[in-house]
Structure 1
Amino acid sequence: MRIVVYCYREAGTEIAVLAGLDPALLTSVQQVYTDIALPTEPGYRPERDRLLTDVQTTPTDLVLVEALGALGNDPEEVSTWVETLETTGAEVVSLNGCRVALDSLLQGAELANQHRRRRLRAGHARNRLQALPPPGKPPYGYRRGQGRYLIDRATAPVVTACVNEFLLYGSLRGAVRFIEGKFGKRISASTGRRWLTHPVYRGDLQYQDGTVLRDTHAAIISRDEAAQIDRLLRRNRPLPPRTAGAARSLAGLVTCQECSQPLTISKTTPRGQAKSYLYLRPSGCSRRPRCKAIAYDTALHRIVAEICQVLPQAVAQFTSRIPAGAPAPYTRLQAAIDSKEAAIAQLPALETSGILDGETAALRRYKLRGEISALHQQLAQLPPVNLQELSQSVSIPQFWLDLSEAERRFFFREFIRDIQLVRDGDAWRVELVLVF
């Protein structure tokens, strides 16, 4: 019988496995492989690697190890080495003469991993109850400190510039290109969207269970900016991607009702003239003859006149749907928020009096703060409170004509979902589809 021995020992200690061997087996030991433990490099075991090479070239009947932990630093590594050695035809046996059971070893490793994951989850749950940041690398623009996220002055200006560019022009890809040109920071459009929409940049923490806690750290995006971003993204969603940040305010909004094709903006410069003219043309009109193009400025003035006439009536009809005496959505949501905040204010007294213990009070506070955050999110999605007054202000033609194209594009998409161009021979009119 050919026997080899593998030992992994501390420096200055004796090889105990040989002292415990039966004298009859000791005479069959062909070679002893010994690795010295290095605290700085526990994975450095050259003799173990040489053992595997030797048994692959010279088959061995028995590989004797001092202990299971001698073959690796964790159960998974031990299991891998036992399987590898046994594929050469050798039998791996521990000091007490018992064969290493791989199934039991893997089961023990899985049990240890389950216990570790359970401890991590318990620790993360305690951190959530204390409103501490979740584990992992802090988001771009922040750093860890004082038990919360702190604004990183080196990277936060990049996020701020992306937000400002998006608010100004309403184009996500344009904002991404802007920060690449100005800061040399190349990110994807999905990363830019995450900067704009993730609660962490608004001063909130979002955990794996979906709960959001408000006002846990300094915000890079203010609440007003966040509400404006959400409205812009919601308005841009049904529009073609290239029209989100187009230079002209009517881009992506006008559709020809006759051929059901969107109208694109084309620029024409007559030969011999320096002045250019803009037109709205059906992009894929299949009619013969094709639907005629319309001068951009003429369409713009007629659309503005239609907005000034239709918008106040639509707002009045929208507000009249609320039953008399019923609380407005703002009042109802704000009352629910105030009620839950009052419940949070009562928790310290209940904990002091012994009605609630510390863990129960912390759990209740965590749930109430999550519910308050959800109510605030519903509140931010409602139309402006002063919608009636705002409709009167934007129903003046000069208001629209004095705006820049970027500003006019923002207000158009704030109120209009679609503009239908209805033709009657050479004549035409516009029909507005408002967001409410």
Structure 2
Amino acid sequence: MKIIVYIYTDPLLETSPDEAIWGWEVDRIYQDFGKRNQLQQLFIDCQQEPANYLLIRRLEELGDKIGEVSDRITQLEAMGIIVIATEQAYTSATAKPSIELLDLLQEIQREQRSRRIRQGHARNRLEVSPPPGKAPYGYRRGKGKYIIDRSTSPVVKDFFDNFLLYGSLRGSVRYLAKKYNKKISVTTGRRWLTNPVYRGDTAYQNSEIISDTHASIISREEAAQVDRLLRRNSRLAPRSASAAHSLAGLVKCNQCQSPMTVTRVTQRYQHQEYLYLRCTDCPQSPKCRAISYQEILAKTIETVCHELPQAVAGINFPHMDAINNSLSDRMPTAIEVIARQQEILEQLPILIETGVLDTETAKIRAYKLRTQISQLQAKLATLPPVNLRSVAQAVSIPQFWLDLSEVERRFYFREFIRQIDIIRQNNAWDLQIIFIF
């Protein structure tokens, strides 16, 4: 008994499957990539020495059109070969009702139509063309790429600048509505902040990203800062992330384990207000009493100035500037790999001219190299951009914090502080700061 296998792989859409997927002991595997030369060889070999069984994943691998698939199945069956589709309910030795066979042919036709659409999208990716659909706000479609829309891009740029300045997504959304009368939801604002298009990159449905495909609205440094602020805000409740007070979302009562929220108290006929931090859901009786916001703020500044330099000095990591320059510890060869891949990209036109690679194969190779470069660049962007020790020394001066507004102070507190625990002792209290690092 002779068993053969035919595998067709479209290099635009998929990778070659493992040869061990069949679960049969096969005599020979015919495998095609893009073109069906091996399929023709299969027919020639079977005319000389017919096989008993032909294993195939799906019938549509036999041709690009339903007529080609039907003709080739007929030729194989005429040679006495039993065709078995492992991913479809088809075995040519089994007589099928006409309705069931018609359903199978319709399924093949739908799959081929879907494949043609996906092939078109894949070719657009190889050409680094934008994906189908409307261009993101701030851009318009040009000749094969996105072009900055000068009438709307200033709105997007101002949105990013506001977020970078204050670190508040909801605040940036309100800022757009007030200044430009551009009303967007918080979800839309988050999509803007994470959209690769505004960074000069193109993202496709398969989650692959190609860098530097068009003019960007924000720089690489700004994009890295946006990602860092989003990661920082993800630790906080949504409303706390945009709250006006610097301690919002950071303070927790160590006795009842309840988060503490900022509460305003005013007196009748007076404009002065008093701020307190109180537990949101204290289970104790009597409940933990509220504490003056200004007292906790003053104690927090004092503790940060005293403990932050010590905390940073105790971290076991190399100098941040050295990381940015050499990446010797966390990414020993990242920059070298990117440089090497850039050299390969530059050599591809020469390989096409000398006939080593055909144009389509070279485009596929270039696409894979660009996606790998984009992934490495994204990892590099997550590294700290500054020397943390020098920053810790600068912010350990009390006057630095006192000169800031509440919004600015909120920005810096969240750069270093993960949580502030209020430790109660009878009628007194103290606090303990848990730093991020």
TM-score normalised by L of structure 2? 0.69
- Cross-structure match for 1:345: 346
Structure 1 residues 383-418: Cα deviation after superposition (integer angstroms, max 9, x where no partner): 334222222222222222211111111111111111
- Cross-structure match for 1:390: 391
Contact 2:327–2:334 under 8 Å retained in 1: no
Structure 1 residues 129-186: Cα deviation after superposition (integer angstroms, max 9, x where no partner): 1211112222222111121000122332332233233333333233333333443433
- Cross-structure match for 1:127: 124
Q: Which runs of 5+ in 1 are unaligned?
A: 1-100
Query: Hey, what's the Cα distance between the residues in 1 that align with 2:258 and 2:416?
Result: 22
Query: Hey, what's the Cα distance between the residues in 1 that align with 2:327 and 2:218?
Result: 34
- Cross-structure match for 1:217: 214
- Cross-structure match for 1:14: none
Q: CA deviation at 1:102?
A: 8.2
- Cross-structure match for 1:60: none
Moved more, 203-212 or 235-244: 235-244
SS of the residue 1:280 aligns to: strand
Identify if the C-alpha distance between structure 1 residues 337 and 430 changes in structure 2 by more than 3 Å, giving closer, same or farther: farther
Equivalent positions of 1:96-135 (< 5 A) are 111-135=108-132
Contact 2:301–2:401 under 8 Å retained in 1: yes
Amino acid at match of 1:413: R
Structure 1 residues 293-348: Cα deviation after superposition (integer angstroms, max 9, x where no partner): 222222112111211222222222324489xx992326543333333323323333
Equivalent positions of 1:281-360 (< 5 A) are 281-320=278-317, 327-329=328-330, 332-360=333-361
Q: Which runs of 5+ in 2 are unaligned?
A: 1-97, 320-325
Equivalent positions of 1:17-416 (< 5 A) are 111-270=108-267, 274-320=271-317, 327-329=328-330, 332-416=333-417
Query: Hey, what's the Cα distance between the residues in 2 that align with 1:108 and 1:287?
Result: 70
- Cross-structure match for 1:93: none
Identify if the C-alpha distance between structure 1 residues 271 and 140 changes in structure 2 by more than 3 Å, giving closer, same or farther: closer
Contact 1:124–1:134 under 8 Å retained in 2: yes
Identify if the C-alpha distance between structure 1 residues 161 and 321 changes in structure 2 by more than 3 Å, giving closer, same or farther: closer
Moved more, 215-224 or 263-272: 263-272
- Cross-structure match for 1:71: none
Identify if the C-alpha distance between structure 1 residues 349 and 394 changes in structure 2 by more than 3 Å, giving closer, same or farther: farther
Moved more, 141-150 or 219-228: 219-228
What count of residue pairs does the alignment treat as equivalent?
335
Amino acid at match of 1:204: D
Query: Hey, what's the Cα distance between the residues in 2 that align with 1:112 and 1:179?
Result: 49
SS of the residue 1:255 aligns to: strand
Identify if the C-alpha distance between structure 1 residues 355 and 185 changes in structure 2 by more than 3 Å, giving closer, same or farther: same
| Greater C-alpha Rg | 1
Identify if the C-alpha distance between structure 1 residues 330 and 317 changes in structure 2 by more than 3 Å, giving closer, same or farther: farther
- Identity %, equivalent residues: 53
Amino acid at match of 1:371: Q
Query: Hey, what's the Cα distance between the residues in 1 that align with 2:334 and 2:187?
Result: 32
Contact 2:171–2:242 under 8 Å retained in 1: yes
Contact 1:235–1:417 under 8 Å retained in 2: no
Query: Hey, what's the Cα distance between the residues in 2 that align with 1:203 and 1:396?
Result: 39
Identify if the C-alpha distance between structure 1 residues 412 and 146 changes in structure 2 by more than 3 Å, giving closer, same or farther: same
TM-score normalised by L of structure 1? 0.69
Identify if the C-alpha distance between structure 1 residues 275 and 190 changes in structure 2 by more than 3 Å, giving closer, same or farther: closer
Identify if the C-alpha distance between structure 1 residues 259 and 426 changes in structure 2 by more than 3 Å, giving closer, same or farther: same
Amino acid at match of 1:253: L
Query: Hey, what's the Cα distance between the residues in 1 that align with 2:205 and 2:114?
Result: 15
Query: Hey, what's the Cα distance between the residues in 2 that align with 1:197 and 1:215?
Result: 16
Q: CA deviation at 1:111?
A: 4.7
SS of the residue 2:259 aligns to: strand
Amino acid at match of 2:367: Y
Amino acid at match of 2:236: L
Query: Hey, what's the Cα distance between the residues in 2 that align with 1:169 and 1:233?
Result: 12
Amino acid at match of 1:379: L
SS of the residue 1:267 aligns to: strand
SS of the residue 1:318 aligns to: coil
Amino acid at match of 1:247: A
Identify if the C-alpha distance between structure 1 residues 126 and 255 changes in structure 2 by more than 3 Å, giving closer, same or farther: same
SS of the residue 1:215 aligns to: coil
